[in-house]
Structure formats: C-alpha cells, structure tokens
Structure 1
Amino acid sequence: MRNYITAAIVGVCAIIAFAIVARAYKYRSTTTETIVVTGLAEKDFNSDLIVWSGSYSRKSFDLKAAYADLKNDEATIKAYLAKMDIAANEVVFSSVNINKDFTSEMDANGRFMGQRFNGYNLTQTVTVESKNVDKVDKLSREATELIQGGIEFNSTPPRFYNTQLKNVKMELLAQASADAKARAEAIAKNAGSSLGKLKKANMGVFQITGKNSNEDYSYGGAFNTSSRNKTGSITIRMEFQAD
C-alpha cells in the first residue's frame, strides 16, 4: 500500500514539474519573439526669427558726464535703427551697467600700496528681435556707421530661431515612427514571420544642428542658434510582437 502511495506522489510531482517546465518554455518563447528597431527622421528648415545684440560704453572720471555721453549714444543708435527700417517695438535697450575701474599700486618690492581710481565704466546693450531675418542679419554685419560716428559699438553674432519647432517635431516623430515600422516589417519578412502589435515605443532626444555642419549630438539634445539654416532630427525606438 505504501508503495502505491509513493508512486502516486511521484507521479503527481512529475506532472507538476512538467507543467512548470512547459509554462516556462512557453513564457520564454513568447517573450523572445519580438523585433526591436530604431527609426530615424531628419528635416532641414530655415529660421524665421533673429535676435541680434550689441553693446557700447563710455568712460569718464565724472559719472554724470559718462552717463550723458551714453544717453547720447543711445539716441544715435535709435535714430540709426529707425533709418534702417527697424521697428521701435523690435528694439530693447538694457539698463546701464556702472563699474568703477581701479588699478592696484605696488612699490618697488612688489608690496601692495593701495588702489588708484581710473574712472567710471558705463555699458549698455541694445537687442533687436525681429521676424525680418534678412534685414537684421545684414545689419549685424554693417554697423560700421555707428563706429564711424564715435560710438564704441561691439556687435555680437546674431542668434537664429524657428518659432514653429512644435510642428517640425511632430512631423519628425511621424516620419521616425513610419521608418521604424518599415524596418521592423522588413526584418519580419526576411525572417519568414509577420509583424504583430506594437509593444513599446520610446522617443529619443530632439536634436537641432546647423545644416551641413559637423556638430555633435548631445545627451540632452543639441540646440543650434548660430546657423540660419538648420537640420532637425529625432529617433524613436519601437518594439513589436513577431507573429
């Protein structure tokens, strides 16, 4: 009797073990039957907004005199920009930055003896933000008239932006998704299988670089502002079930 019970227990255990192995094999086979691909999309686009800045300064021992000279420079710059057909609402003048200039005095042995006051340095910045990219881009390279007028004007390179980036990004996402699906379908077809439902999708980082440049992508996403003509790109990683 005991032998029959032992045999029955062994038989039940064998059935349970077989069921566990079968389920594990089924789980392993279903989880590995996937196709993982990365889709890529790129698009060239132009900037429709330009931001250009320049600074100018005056120096004097007399603070009031330096401030008056700086305000005269501001009036001259306003008149110049108006003559160049730059709208007043596209121009912003910063507040005046005032610094005291000192020179350290040393004796013959290199010991610090004190500071000599050299005067006040007053600096102001003007910024032009406009949708007229051609005009302001040209103006940023031809501000010599201000220098010839006695203004120490330092022009900075303009920055270029696109105000429709949201639309560009949505278009690239659609193209990258279609590219990923096409890759997955090609893999499935060559493997004698068919493409099943989408299991997972992860969007990559949106990158903006100068067109035809050798800029590197960055982990957080490149955002070029120095080039007027740009290239946007994005990747998307998709995982499909293979049937």
Structure 2
Amino acid sequence: MKHISAIIFGAAIVIAAYFLGNAYVRRASPAQIISVTGLGNENFTSDLIVWEGHFSTTNTVLKSAFDQLNSDKNIVKEYLTSKGIKAEQIIFNSVQTTELRDNKYENGNYVGSIFRGYQLTQTVKIESQDVSLVENVSREITELLNKGVQFNSYPPRYYYTKLADLKIEMISKATEDARLRAEKIAENSGSNLGDLVSAKMGVFQITGQNSGEDYSWGGAYNTDSKNKTASITMRLDYKVR
C-alpha cells in the first residue's frame, strides 16, 4: 500500500512539473507583434467660402448716425447684388454702438472726458459655394469708397462640405498603407502576417497645400487656403506567425 501511494505521489509531482513548465514556456514566449503606422492624405479644393467685412459711421447725434449707417447698408447690399451675389446669401448682423470720448487732463492729472460722438458699426457676412465669385468681390470691395462707404474687409475663410466622406476615404488609405508596411516587415523577417490585434486612428489634419504648416496634437484645420491637404494616420498591431 505504501508502495502504491509513493507511485501516485511521484506521478502527481511529474504532472504538476509539466504544467508549471508549460506555463513558464508560454510566459517566456509571448506572441510576437508588429506595430506599424500608415498615412492617408488627399489634396482637395474648398467648395465653400465665408467672407465678412464691416462699415461704420460717426455722428454727435445718435439718430443721424443710425440714418447714415442704414443708408450705407443699402449701398453695400446694392453693390453686392450687382456683382452677382444673391440677396439671401448676404447677412447683416446687429448694429454695434460705441460712445466716443477723449480723456481730459490738467497739469498731468485726469479730470474727466469730453464727448466726441457715437460710432455705429455693422458687420456683413456672405456664405456661398460660388468661391470664385466671392473671391473677386472681396478684392474689388474698395470700389465702395467711390460711393462714400468706408468698408473694411476681412480675409475670406475656406471650407469643404464633403469632409466626412473625405475622412472615411483617407482612413481606408491609411489602413491599407499600414497593412502593406506590416506585410513587408513580416516578409523581410521570414515570418507571416497574422491577425489584426488593434487599430488606433490618429488626429485629422487639414493644412494649406505646400504651406509648410506644422501639425497640431489636437488636429489642425486651415481655413486661410482655398487649396488644402488633409491627412490622417492609422496605427495597426498585427500578430506574426
């Protein structure tokens, strides 16, 4: 009986040693992983333009200043529509009123202020998919000076309305680029590419074409250039067999 117990005990030790040894081998030989980053980029031309500017008048009488501003507004609207911009694309914002005063000093000491009048300012915004038309108008807007309107123009901003579709296409390109890189690495190491373990998308970047702009960690979105370059990265992790 003692002999049988010794045999059973010895067999248990052998079996336990086998499983412990096998577990050690598994821990000591983890699955090999290839990590690659693919890039997808695309050049495109903006199909939406947003352009803004403002005009103002000054008068010591508030009503007179408002009447003059309203007259200038009609001149601006008539000018823009005569250039081919549709009336529904012209948006006039609310009037901003500023009281103008000059500081008064006596012997270097501030003693109060002198009222100079009221300045009324109104901003106009145009949003259109006729990019070339609005660009031309923004360059010729100084013609309003001949009509007695001092118009201050801001640089146009450019956008793309099909950005969601473009992003999907670029993700596909970046993923394919990463997969090809992984296959090449596996081939050069004498291995075969296995299953995809994980995929992580980088930030979406939009910069002006040939602008030399820096990428941003949070993603860049250029609105100054009509012609842009969009890019995105994909990081893929593959098993290697």
Please tell me the TM-score bracket, short chain as reference. over 0.9
Q: In structure 1, give the amino acid aligned to 2:215.
A: Y
Distance 1:154 1:179 in 2: 47
Distance 1:15 1:103 in 2: 97
Which stretch shifts more, 116-125 or 200-209? 116-125
CA-CA distance at 1:83 after TM superposition: 0.5
Match of 1:67 in 2: 66
Closer/same/farther in 2, CA of residues 170 and 238 from structure 1, 3 Å limit: same
Percent identity between matched residues is: 44
- Do residues 19 (structure 1) and 19 (structure 2) align? yes
CA, structure 1 residues 10+149, in 2 after alignment: closer, same or farther (shift >3 Å)?
Answer: farther
Secondary structure of 2:179's partner?
Answer: helix
TM-score, scaled relative to structure 2: 0.93
The match for 1:203 among 174, 191, 201 is: 201
Aligned position for 1:167 = 165
Q: Give the drift of 1:93.
A: 0.3
CA–CA separation in structure 1 for the residues paired with 2:148 and 2:27: 81
For structure 1, which runs of at least 5 residues remain unmatched after alignment?
A: none
> Which of 170, 192, 195 is the equivalent residue of 1:194?
192
**Residue matched to 1:146:** 144
Sort the Cα spacing of 1:191 and 1:61 in 2 relative to 1 into closer, same or farther, 3 A: same
Quick one: distance in 1 between partners of 2:24 and 2:214? Answer: 45
CA distance 1:97–1:6, shift in 2 (3 Å) = farther
Unmatched tracts of structure 2, length 5 or more:
none
Q: For 1:131-142, what aligned pairs fall within 5 Å after superposition?
A: 131-142=129-140
Pairs aligned (count): 240
| Equivalent residue, structure 1, for 2:84 | 85
Displacement of 1:168: 0.7
State the match for 1:127 in structure 2.
125
In 2, the alpha carbon distance for the partners of 1:60 and 1:16 equals: 98
1:107 shift after superposition: 1.4
Q: Which has the larger displacement, 6-15 or 142-151?
A: 6-15
Cα separation, 2, equivalents of 1:9 and 1:117: 107
Partner Cα separation in structure 1 for residue 135 and residue 17 of structure 2: 77
Distance 2:10 2:119 in 1: 96
Q: CA deviation at 1:8?
A: 8.7
Give the Cα separation in 2 of the matches to 1:143 and 1:84: 10
**Other structure's SS at 2:29 match:** helix
Q: Please tell me the root mean square deviation across aligned C-alpha atoms, in Å.
A: 2.1
**Partner residue of 2:34?**
35
Q: 2:154 aligns with which of 131, 153, 156?
A: 156
Q: What TM-score results when the alignment is normalised by the length of structure 1?
A: 0.92
After superposition, give the CA deviation of every residue in 1:208-228 in whole Å (9 maximum; x if it has no partner).
000011101111110000000
**What is the identity, as a one-letter code, of the residue corresponding to 2:232?**
I
Cα shift at 1:103:
1.9
Report how far residue 29 of structure 1 moved.
2.1
